[in-house]
């Protein structure tokens, strides 16, 4: 053998021996990890598995599986989630993939990420060839749907599903939710769809067995809360604001039901902003004795329809956002969680007179939209309390010259404690501030929430730093309790907090507060609310006056380029 060939053979043998040594070392580490795992020495086993999994070898896939399994055993669910997702991304065809999917779902459930767990359970159901895993996936999906999702959520999933094995299962799960919600019409429709379209499915027999007919309707008798929202219009176009409010409402009841043995369900109905539809839903709720109260509607025009049709019912309706003035007049059942404009002006007058001790004010308002309402309610209440409105001025919104109005304030400037300027358009603020500076009118400014987005505040700091306003909505994003809530909401729903989520959540939280420690009937819920019950909310607190309107409002100040909360102030009516 030549020297050259001998050298080549030596190198080949050397690499082979090195590779064999590495394989033996990997096997030894892996076997040792399995032994430690069986002895319940999970942390030590995890270190072995992580070492083997860190490089390509014949034991890498099994080691990665055991990494996930060990992390779950150690209750490090966030780490287990990351490792499981990484495994399924790289080794989707592995014999361990189904088991890793189960471990991923368990990790998500332990973190209260119910929608993510639902989605991954459907993925397992769709892709697993083993009956045991498919049965487990179905069980998990049913559990999540019944405890944490609404029929609206599950319908979204079933509408998008095309797999002929998964689709009928999701439809049957949807039918079960409709039954729990008392929606017999939709239950019948979905059951018939399964029977007609999926005769070869496992759910076909169940659908035939449990099909509701007029002689045998086995629906839940548990107390429920109605939800009346315009989730779509009459043409099916989605209403994102309403969807977000629904997420907040559902989450508030999720929190309540975690603490209750007897759960409170939700019956969600889509009003479609249609009067006939709303009338039908009111009748349905009134006829269903399980419905103890209703959250909604959210728009004032829908609320007017509700108010006109509820006189013959004993159900209360709580609107998270409707602001029209006369909705609560001449009825005992409609409540406004969002203060109307007359309340906002009135409560600010109480704040400046009673809390700040001010006695003399000027008022400058536009003639458009809600500005005159705010100005009048402020002035009337301030004077009723004993204060003086020394001068009133008005202007047309988007006017470019307010010199006359500002000049008319100057003769009273030495006596003024402040000036109330309720905007109807944020663009007017810059013109007003500029004219006040020009004429040396330095008076503390009070206003409404349109000032939140006004221009010219930072360039007029000598005036804007005196600014205080009312707002129906304010969030301290650095507050620890809000951060904790936001993270929990994201983990549970997979969605971020929005303004509309909080409108829905806080209204629902108020109702869940009323439901605690009472036997929930229509009468007891109303009696509890009418005691002046208070609920601390994230966007605003809620407590209803005898006129059934929320009298809490956020008082904000502007300084150093940003608005800050002074307090959530409770007024009276």
- Please say whether the beta carbons of 317 and 296 come within 8 A: yes
Is 435 a domain residue?
A: yes
Q: How far apart are CA 137 and CA 508, in angstroms?
A: 32
Is 534 a domain residue?
A: no
238 and 153 part of one domain: no
Q: Residue 421 — φ and ψ, nearest 5°? A: -130, 85
47 and 82 part of one domain: yes
Half-sphere exposure of 49 (CA within 13 A, CB side): 23
283 and 315 part of one domain: yes
- Closest by CA to 567, choosing from 451, 455, 469, is 469
350 or 102, greater pLDDT? 350
266 and 357 part of one domain: no
- Please say whether the beta carbons of 59 and 30 come within 8 A: yes
Is 490 a domain residue?
A: no
- Closest by CA to 347, choosing from 69, 106, 547, is 547
314 and 415 part of one domain: no
State the pLDDT at residue 23.
59
145 or 159, greater pLDDT? 159
Q: What is the pLDDT of residues 296-322, one digit of tens each?
A: 999 999 999 999 998 888 999 999 999
Q: Over 90: is that where the pLDDT of 60 sits?
A: no
Q: Which stretch of DSSP H or E encloses residue 556?
A: strand 552-559
Average pLDDT, the chain: 88
Q: How far apart are CA 125 and CA 110, in angstroms?
A: 20
Tell me which of 39-43, 93-97, 217-221, 337-341 is least confident.
217-221
Q: How far apart are CA 80 and CA 321, in angstroms?
A: 41
State the pLDDT at residue 402.
94
State the pLDDT at residue 511.
96
What percent of the chain has pLDDT above 70? 94
Structural domain boundaries enclosing 115: 14-165
Quote helix, strand, coil % in the chain, to nearest 5.
Answer: 55, 15, 35
State the pLDDT at residue 211.
59
110 and 59 part of one domain: yes
Tokens of 324: 């029209």
User: What is residue 363's DSSP assignment?
Assistant: E
Q: How far apart are CA 408 and CA 422, in angstroms?
A: 18
Q: What is the pLDDT of residues 265-306, one digit of tens each?
A: 888 999 999 999 999 999 999 988 889 999 999 999 999 999
State the pLDDT at residue 10.
40
> Residue 243 belongs to a domain with what CATH number?
3.40.50.2300
19 and 64 part of one domain: yes
List CB contacts of 421: < 8 A, sequence separation 6 or more. 363, 364, 365, 432, 445, 446, 447
Q: Over 60: is that where the pLDDT of 8 sits?
A: no
State the pLDDT at residue 112.
84
- Please say whether the beta carbons of 366 and 425 come within 8 A: yes
Q: What is the pLDDT of residues 546-569, one digit of tens each?
A: 999 999 999 999 988 899 999 999
Is 315 a domain residue?
A: yes
Is 526 a domain residue?
A: no
**Average of per-residue pLDDT across 214-227:** 64
Boundary residue ending a domain (471, 497, 517): 471
Measured in residues, the chain has a length of: 573
Query: Cβ-count burial of 164 within 10 angstroms (0-12 exposed, 13-18 middle, 19+ buried)?
Result: exposed
> Residue 102 belongs to a domain with what CATH number?
1.25.40.10
68 and 161 part of one domain: yes
State the pLDDT at residue 487.
92
Q: Over 80: is that where the pLDDT of 1 sits?
A: no
Q: Residue 8 — φ and ψ, nearest 5°? A: -65, -45
**Average of per-residue pLDDT across 5-18:** 43
State the pLDDT at residue 355.
96
State the pLDDT at residue 18.
39
**Average of per-residue pLDDT across 348-357:** 98
Q: How far apart are CA 77 and CA 508, in angstroms?
A: 30
Q: How far apart are CA 111 and CA 105, in angstroms?
A: 10
Task: Tell me how far CA of residue 175 lies from CA of 2, 138, 374, 483, in angstroms.
Answer: 81, 15, 49, 36
Tokens of 256: 């309540």
State the pLDDT at residue 363.
98
Half-sphere exposure of 485 (CA within 13 A, CB side): 23
User: What is residue 213's DSSP assignment?
Assistant: B
Q: Over 50: is that where the pLDDT of 214 sits?
A: no
Boundary residue ending a domain (336, 357, 375): 336
283 and 371 part of one domain: no
State the pLDDT at residue 217.
44
297 and 330 part of one domain: yes
Q: Over 50: is that where the pLDDT of 373 sits?
A: yes
- Binned at pLDDT 50, 70 and 90, residue 221 comes out as low
Q: What is the pLDDT of residues 456-469, one digit of tens each?
A: 898 888 899 999 99
Is 178 a domain residue?
A: no
20 and 160 part of one domain: yes
Q: Over 80: is that where the pLDDT of 374 sits?
A: yes
Q: Which residues are registered as beta bridge partners of 419?
A: 362, 445
**Average of per-residue pLDDT across 24-28:** 79
- Binned at pLDDT 50, 70 and 90, residue 513 comes out as very high
What count of other Cβ atoms lies within 10 Å of the Cβ of residue 521? 14
State the pLDDT at residue 347.
98
85 or 257, greater pLDDT? 85
- Please say whether the beta carbons of 281 and 268 come within 8 A: no
Q: How far apart are CA 398 and CA 549, in angstroms?
A: 32
36 and 147 part of one domain: yes
Q: What is the pLDDT of residues 77-133, one digit of tens each?
A: 999 999 999 999 998 888 899 999 999 998 998 898 888 999 998 998 898 888 778
Q: Over 90: is that where the pLDDT of 380 sits?
A: yes
List CB contacts of 53: < 8 A, sequence separation 6 or more. 60, 63, 64, 67
Is 212 a domain residue?
A: no
Question: How many folded domains does the chain comprise?
Answer: 3
Boundary residue ending a domain (471, 492, 524): 471
Is 544 a domain residue?
A: no
């Amino acid at each position: 053998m030549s020297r050259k060939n001998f050298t080549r053979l030596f190198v080949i043998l050397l690499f082979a021996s090195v590779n064999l040594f590495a394989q033996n070392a990997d096997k030894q580490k892996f076997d040792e990890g399995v032994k430690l795992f069986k002895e319940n020495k999970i942390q030590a086993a995890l270190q072995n598995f992580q070492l083997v999994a860190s490089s390509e070898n014949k034991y890498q896939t099994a080691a990665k599986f055991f990494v996930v399994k060990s992390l779950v055993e150690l209750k490090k669910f966030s780490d287990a989630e990351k490792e499981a997702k990484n495994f399924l991304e790289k080794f989707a065809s592995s014999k361990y993939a189904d088991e890793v999917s189960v471990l991923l779902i368990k990790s998500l459930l332990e973190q209260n990420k119910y929608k993510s767990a639902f989605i991954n359970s459907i993925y397992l159901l769709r892709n697993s060839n083993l009956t045991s895993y498919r049965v487990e996936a179905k069980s998990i999906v049913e559990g999540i749907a019944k405890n944490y999702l609404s029929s609206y959520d599950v319908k979204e999933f079933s509408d998008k599903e095309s797999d002929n094995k998964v689709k009928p299962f999701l439809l049957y799960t949807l039918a079960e939710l409709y039954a729990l919600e008392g929606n017999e019409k939709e239950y019948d429709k979905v059951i018939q769809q399964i029977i007609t379209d999926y005769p070869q499915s496992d759910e076909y027999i169940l659908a035939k067995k449990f099909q509701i007919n007029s002689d045998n309707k086995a629906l839940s008798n548990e107390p429920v809360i109605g939800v009346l929202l315009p989730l779509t219009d009459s043409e099916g176009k989605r209403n994102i604001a309403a969807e977000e409010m629904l997420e907040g409402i559902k989450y508030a009841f999720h929190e309540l039901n975690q603490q209750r043995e007897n759960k409170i369900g939700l019956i969600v109905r889509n009003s479609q902003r249609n009067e006939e539809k709303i009338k039908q839903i009111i009748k349905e709720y009134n006829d269903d004795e399980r419905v103890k109260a209703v959250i909604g509607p959210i728009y004032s025009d829908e609320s007017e329809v509700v108010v006109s049709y509820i006189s013959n019912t004993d159900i209360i309706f709580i609107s998270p956002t409707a602001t029209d003035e006369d909705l609560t007049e001449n009825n005992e059942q409609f409540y406004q969680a969002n203060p109307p404009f007359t309340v906002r002006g009135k409560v600010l007058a109480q704040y400046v007179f009673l809390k700040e001790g001010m006695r003399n004010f000027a008022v400058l308002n536009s003639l458009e939209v809600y500005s005159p309402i705010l100005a009048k309610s402020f002035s009337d209440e301030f004077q009723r309390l004993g204060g003086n409105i020394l001068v009133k001025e008005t202007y047309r919104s988007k006017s470019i010259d307010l010199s006359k109005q500002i000049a008319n304030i100057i003769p009273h400037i030495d006596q003024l404690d402040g000036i109330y300027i309720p905007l109807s358009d944020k663009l007017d603020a810059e013109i007003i501030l500029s004219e006040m500076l020009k004429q040396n009118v330095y008076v503390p400014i009070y206003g409404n929430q349109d000032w939140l987005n006004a221009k010219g505040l930072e360039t007029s700091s000598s005036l804007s730093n005196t600014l205080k306003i009312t707002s129906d909505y304010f969030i301290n994003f650095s507050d620890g309790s809000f951060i904790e809530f936001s993270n929990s909401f994201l983990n549970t729903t997979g969605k971020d907090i929005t303004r509309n989520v909080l409108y829905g959540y806080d209204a629902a939280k108020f109702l869940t507060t009323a439901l605690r420690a009472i036997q929930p009937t229509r009468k007891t819920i109303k009696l509890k609310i009418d005691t002046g019950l208070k609920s601390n909310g994230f966007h605003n607190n809620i407590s209803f006056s005898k006129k059934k309107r929320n009298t809490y409002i956020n008082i904000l100040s502007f300084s150093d380029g940003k608005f800050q909360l002074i307090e959530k102030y409770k007024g009276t009516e």
